[in-house]
Every structure is written in C-alpha cells, then in structure tokens.
Amino acid sequence: MELPDDNPAAIPPPADRDPDPTTVPVIEFLSGRNRGSHEEIAEPTVFLTINEIGGLSIIPVSKAVADEDYPVRLQRSGDTYELEVIAPFQVWVNGEQVSRHTLRSGELLELGRNGPMARYRIYAIGRIPLRTASHAFYDCIDCARYADGSLVSRSGRLVAALAGELVTRSTVWFRILVVVLLVALIVSTTYLSRQSRNLEVRLEQEASFMLGISEILRRSEKEAISREQLSSLRKQLEKRVDALEARSLATRKVIAEASRSIVFIQASYQYIDLASENPLRYVLDSNDELIVTPFGPAITLEGDGPLVELQYTGTAFVVGAPNVLITNRHVAMPWESNPAHEQFETMGLVAKFDRFIGYLPGVDKYFNVQLVAASDEIDIAVLSSDDAMLEAHPLPTALTAVQPGDEVLLIGYPTGVQAILARTDAKFLDEIGETDALGFWTVVEKLSASGLISPLATRGIVGQVTRDAVVYDAGTTYGGSGGPVLNLQGEVIAVNTSIMEGFSGANLGLPIARILPFLQQSLESIKSRE
C-alpha cells in the first residue's frame, strides 16, 4: 500500500488477520481544544462521541456508561478498526457519508456536519513522529476542503486554522520568519498599491489632457470653412446679418467712422514643452491619417506629424494712441479659458502664440500684434501693433457715465470669418470655392485684399449699470468679445465682455471708467519702451 509522503512511519492495513503487535492505531485531533495532539487506541472496541465542549472524545468499552447512547463504534479488525454508526447520526470519512467503513491510515473523520474532525493513522510502535508544519498544513487543507459552506467561508476557515497552527504549534524561529515574511508582504503590497494609484492618476491626467485638447480643437473648428458651407452661409447668415444691421438706426456717420478703428483679430497658438521645447503634434498612422482615440485625436511631443495649431478670431479697437488696442484678456490669452490649461501647465506645457495678427477695414495688409499687458483684476488686455496702424484713429472715450434706458451701439466681428463671408457677394464665394484658398489664413487674406473686412453693428438699450458692469440687449455672439460699446455720439462707454448665460439677449460690458486707469498705465509703459 502506498504510504503518505509526510508520514513515513505510517503503515497500511493488512488483510484480515490477528493484530500486528508492532503497530498502533492513533486518532489525531484536528479541531477543538485538543487540536494538534493524538491518542492511541489500545482496546479492541472503543466509542467515539462529541463531548460537552464540542470536541471529540474516545471512550473505551471498559469506561463506557451503560445507559449512554454513543453514536460511533470502532471495532478492531486485523491491524485496523472498522467504523460503525450505531445511532441516528452522520459521519463523514474523507468527505463521504458512511454508516460502516473499514478505516485506512490517513483518512479524515468528521462527526456531524461541521462537527469535530480527526485523522486516523496507523504507526509503527515507537515511531510516532512529532507533528510538523507539513502535517498541520495538510490537515488544515483537508478540514477546509470537506467542511460545509461556500468557498469564501471555507477559505476563511483555512486561513484561521493555519494562523492558529502557526501561532500555537510552531517554533520561535519559525514565527519570526513568518513575521518577517508578513512585513515584507505588507511593504510590497503597499508599494504596489501606491504604484497602481500613481498609474491611475497618470491615466486620469492623460484623459484630462486629451479631453482638454479635444475641447480647444472643437472651439477652433468653429472657424473652419468647408465648401459645402459657402452656399448655405450666403443664404442663412445673410438674412440674419441684414436683420441685425437693420436694427441699427443710429447715425450712419457714427457707425462708418467707428468701424475704421475696429480691428479683426486672427491668431493661433501652440502648446510647447518647456523641457524639450518641442510642440504638440498629431500622431499619424502608416497611411498618414490622424489616429483618433475615444478622447480625441492622438497627440505627442515627438515625431514629425502636423503641428497642433489652435486657431481663433476676436475683436479689438484702437484707443489712446494709433498703435494701441484694447480687447478682453480672454481674447489676448485664450488658453486660460481652456478647462485643461492648468493640467497642461502641471505637465510642463506652456501656450505660445504661433501667429497674432490684425486687420483694419479698408487696409489690404495685416499687421502684427503684441501683448502689452493683461489685467489681473478685470477682463481687459492692452495690445500694440506695428506701423501698419499709424493711420488708424483712436476712438474717443465717454466723459459721462451711461444710464439705464440709453441707446448704445455694439460693433465687432461676431462669428468671425463666417459672418464676413456671409456679407460678400456670390461672385466672391464662387471664386474662392473654385480654388484651394479655403484655409483659415488664406480666406481672410483674400477678404482683406478685396476690401471686404468690416465689422457688424447692432443697436440696443442699456438695462442696468453698476461699477463693474453695463448690461444691454445689443445682439452679439462668440467673436464679438473685445468690441467697443458706443453711445450715439460715437464715444466708448464700455468694452463688450460676455454673454449672460440663460438670459437671452443680454450682454455684459466693462465700464470705460474701470478701464481707463489700466489703459493709462499701459500707455506710459509703451512710451517708456520707445
């Protein structure tokens, strides 16, 4: 018979014959207070029962109580014992319920469901080995395997049993080794947990980064013009523009004179890595097509793919001096409105203008624009330009404050290039539609060369005036930020700043009185540089 690997002293039960005087049957207790100990079976007949504390007891016939009903009897049979259930009781041997069974060395006994467990073994006399860690381990495994309950409960039982064996039955040095291993496990688990969290944070940052790029690209795409849009723009926007201009009943002279000082801002910027000075680029596949992720186009700081160029338009006007412009801070520094801008800065990316130019009505050549100063308190920025603007006339500023009920004019370039194209004739649209001149920069160059760049003027009523805001109903939309708000004398009373969300037809302007101190400071700074 094959002997268990962990018990070389165990011997198999032979065929029916007289007991071998050189062997001894043993019951090893695997549960209860006697766990880890054993008891030899000396008499031919013994009883197994569950004691008052729920443990297993071995009762020899000589000590049995006559009126007591013992559930299990072990009767000597050759070198082993035969197990017999003699009462309404459940007994499992190696996980199988039995009523009668000839025991073999190494078999696992369980009295009652989830009752006490023991192992039956036959050893050579004088060769009963000490209980080792290997014994304890396999005994705990078997107890958990044949126990009732779910996998989770049995796993918990296994862990608890192993822990108890290690704590109570192992040597001091073995316990020290276990503690060291546990500490190492905790340290490694903590390290891996931190690494996992760092990875999660990095993935979140990457997702935020991609979403931010997608958002600013979406905004930039508003300026794009397709061939299919040209014909519909002429029909759809022309009516809208005509309606807006029809509302302007102010003196034609005021609108005409002021319009010559309203600048069409056209710009693009990139994100540059401070460390490498590399710009963001799109990632192309083997067919030179953009790779698109669930968060937007794939971008990188490496390779030679197309540059990520973020394009936009806005409005500014000449004030204070022929080469000085005023606009909104969010027009001069558009990246600050990007929700992912702070995340980009954290990653070492900075926004940098690739091109920053302006156009004046009636001037067929663009001029370069530079940022002089941007206020940290109000949404205002001062710009300067080159010699191309020396012919421009600064708009006058109002000396008296505007009042609720006053009529005002709002002049600017709402909807950017699209609104300008909508006011051109069919011949011009057909000409650029037949060429490859539909790019962001080339379309505006064509418009300027043809003398077609001019602002829109709308008329409204002032609803409310405070120290920091003028509320009026003159219509505008994106692209109109930074334009002047004029009284009917052609004087600047405010700078158009924003649209009131959720309040149709209401816009906000920053009063000129709040702007003049900052403008004067900027003018002095420009003179000192000259």
> Mind listing the pLDDT tens digit for each residue in 326-372?
999 999 999 988 777 788 888 889 999 999 999 999 888 889 999 99
User: Nearest to residue 466, comparing CAs of 505, 424, 494, 486?
Assistant: 494
CA–CA distance, 512 with 1 (Å, rounded to integer): 105
**CA gap 372, 187 in Å, rounded:** 55
What gap in Å lies between CA 477 and CA 357, rounded to an integer? 21
147, pLDDT greater than 50: yes
Tell whether the model's pLDDT for residue 380 goes beyond 80.
Answer: yes
pLDDT greater than 70 at residue 452: yes
Mean pLDDT of 94-103: 91
Please check whether the domain covering 23-147 is classified as CATH 1.10.357.10. Answer: no
The 10 Å Cβ neighbour count of residue 510 is 22
Phi-psi region of 155 (alpha: psi -120 to 50; beta: other; left: phi over 0): alpha
pLDDT given for residue 242 in this prediction: 61
Residue type, 280: L
Structural domain spans, the chain: 23-147, 205-529
Please state, in angstroms and rounded to a whole number, the distance separating the CA atoms of residues 392 and 501. 34
DSSP 174-240: HHHHHHHHHHHHHHHHHHHHHHHHHHHHHHHHHHHHHHHHHHHHHHHHTT---HHHHHHHHHHHHHH
Residue 163: phi, psi to the nearest 5? -60, -45
Decide if pLDDT at 241 tops 70. Answer: no
Q: What is the pLDDT of residue 197?
A: 82
- Which range of 19-33, 73-87, 153-167, 423-437 scores highest in mean pLDDT? It is 73-87
- Helix 172-221 with 151-169: angle, nearest 10 deg: 140
Residue with the bigger pLDDT between 15 and 514: it is 514
Alpha carbon distance 197, 157 (integer Å):
32
The tokens for 443 are 């379309």
194-220 pLDDT per residue, tens: 887 887 787 777 777 777 777 666 666
Please say whether the beta carbons of 462 and 297 come within 8 A.
no
Q: Is the pLDDT assigned to residue 22 strictly greater than 90? A: no
Q: Which residue has the higher pLDDT, 176 or 398?
A: 398
Which option is the CATH number for 205-529: 3.30.465.10, 1.10.1740.10, 2.60.120.560, 2.40.10.120?
A: 2.40.10.120
Assigned token pair, 207: 């997702």
Question: Of residues 242 and 492, which shows the higher confidence score?
Answer: 492
Task: Please state, rounded to an integer, the average pLDDT across all residues of the chain.
Answer: 80
For residues 93 and 201, which has the higher predicted lDDT (pLDDT)? 93
Length of the chain, in residues: 530
Q: Considering only 118-127, 226-235, 316-325, 521-530, which range has the smallest mean pLDDT?
A: 226-235
Q: Is 205-529 in the same CATH topology as 23-147? A: no
If one compares 505 and 413, the residue with the highest pLDDT of the two is 413
Q: How far is CA 289 from CA 223, 292, 297, 298, 305, in A?
A: 22, 9, 11, 11, 10
